[in-house]
Structure 1
Amino acid sequence: MEDSIHLAAKYSAPAMAVTSTAKKHQSGSIICTASVAGLRSNAGPSDYSASKSSVISLVQTIAFQLARTGVRINAICPGLIETGMTASLYDAARARGVQNKIGQINPLGRGAHADEVARVALFLGSDESSYVNGQAWAVDGGLSAGHPFIPGTPIK
């Protein structure tokens, strides 16, 4: 995994620096998908968390490699959202009638909807985010803002 990430950065950075000659001003936006698991521990298995953390590091490094090209790069770090990867979790929760517990450990108390993550991507890809570069945007209902706390009787 480490070699493939290194090679991706080494060989893709020069290509990312090339912008269209048809544009009056060079600009562009690269949006990578990471995960809240790359920002905080215990948000996913260690191999998954390490790979998503590598994406965030790559974004920060490439932001400097593309300095003064007008091309920005950022990462979106979704929390729990229903996707193909999490479908079995959502299906199991629905089957047990506990789907309302999904996402209960984040301050918003629910999982994300795909359109909520998509709106962040639209913002990062637009000129509205023209001064945003090299950042990891957590779209996780506030999970990464602190340590999860579940009210109730403490375990003894």
Structure 2
Amino acid sequence: MRFEGKSAIVTGAGSGIGRATAIWLAVEGAAVVCADLSGADATAATIREAGGRAIHATADAGDEAAVAELVEAAVAAHGGLDVFHANAGVSGGLAGLFDQSAADWAEILRINLIGPFLAVKYAAPRMAERGGGSIVLTASVAGLRSGAGGAAYSASKAGVINLAQTAAQQLTGSGVRVNAVCPGLIETGMTQMIFDRAREKGVEDRIGALNPLKRHGAPEEIAAAVLFLASDAASYVNGQAIVVDGGLSSSHPMTVQRYGRVAA
């Protein structure tokens, strides 16, 4: 019960990583506000049916007024705020630099980067009132280097990683920690099309084949990392980007010797 007596907000809680995180936080004692444009009510209902505490909010994580209201709703409902998982995001597809307009980029950045900024801006002061807290931003391995996402998506997630570092410094002395988690390929609503196509073609076993674990990840595996960063067990972890990708980003692509034979 690492989060007994704690109050938490999770955006993008309607599915995937956000849903898994919200449920796990509640299982470990947190009172959770589940926020999303759709599906958050179902996540909150699941938590309550299991005996946990949760409310839901239909909110756009990239809208300033909505995020400000979300934070105040958590404070009003649960007496304060201790954890904010800024998880909501969009992929924008795998479009290249010349395939999208400035408007496309603006919308991806609004949700993926401005959204986490708003989470920090409005959550950190409320957390500081309680002596500290933890903000966890969902970035991506796509933010580390090229090759894991579209141009706009990758740029937005690189910004999230830097935001975690910048925010950690700007919040010096507040007791509020800011970190990012960088998932690899995880089966979520955002990536469902990739998995569906692979299954239709009978090549599902190739998904995740480029990482040393030879598989894709599950939302619960990212949620586990988020809960660690949000918990007191990570009390000295601040301004970091924790990668959870099966080892994908541990090396550059190359030909390797494995079990006595050469494999690409």
TM-score normalised over the length of structure 1: 0.85
Q: Which residue of 2 aligns with 1:39?
A: 144
Distance 1:104 1:46, change over 3 A: same
Q: Is structure 2 residue 121 aligned with structure 1 residue 16?
A: no
Q: Is the 8 A contact 2:116 2:160 kept in 1?
A: no
Aligned equivalents of 1:93, 1:6: Cα separation in 2 = 33
Q: Which residue of 2 aligns with 1:49?
A: 154
Q: Is the 8 A contact 2:143 2:155 kept in 1?
A: yes
Count matched residues: 151
Distance 1:98 1:128, change over 3 A: same
SS for the counterpart of 1:17 is helix
Q: Is structure 2 residue 204 aligned with structure 1 residue 92?
A: no
> Matches of residues 1-156 of structure 1 in structure 2 within 5 Å?
1=106, 9=117, 12-13=120-121, 16-19=124-127, 21=129, 23=130, 26-149=131-254
User: What's the RMSD between the two structures over aligned residues?
Assistant: 2.6
Aligned equivalents of 2:193, 2:212: Cα separation in 1 = 23
Aligned equivalents of 2:116, 2:214: Cα separation in 1 = 37
Aligned equivalents of 2:206, 2:109: Cα separation in 1 = 39
- Gaps spanning 5+ residues in structure 2: where? 1-105, 257-261
Equivalent pairs: percent with the same residue? 50
Aligned equivalents of 2:157, 2:181: Cα separation in 1 = 10
Deviation at residue 135 of structure 1 after TM alignment: 0.5
Aligned equivalents of 2:229, 2:132: Cα separation in 1 = 13
Task: State which drifts further: 26-35 or 2-11.
Answer: 2-11
Distance 1:31 1:10, change over 3 A: closer
Aligned equivalents of 1:82, 1:29: Cα separation in 2 = 26
Aligned equivalents of 1:90, 1:72: Cα separation in 2 = 35
SS for the counterpart of 1:19 is helix
Deviation at residue 13 of structure 1 after TM alignment: 3.4
SS for the counterpart of 2:211 is coil
- Gaps spanning 5+ residues in structure 1: where? none
Deviation at residue 51 of structure 1 after TM alignment: 0.4
Aligned equivalents of 1:94, 1:9: Cα separation in 2 = 37
Aligned equivalents of 2:197, 2:119: Cα separation in 1 = 42
The amino acid across from 1:13 in the alignment is: K
Distance 1:129 1:153, change over 3 A: closer
The amino acid across from 1:81 in the alignment is: I
Distance 1:100 1:7, change over 3 A: closer
The amino acid across from 1:124 in the alignment is: L
Q: Is the 8 A contact 1:13 1:62 kept in 2?
A: no
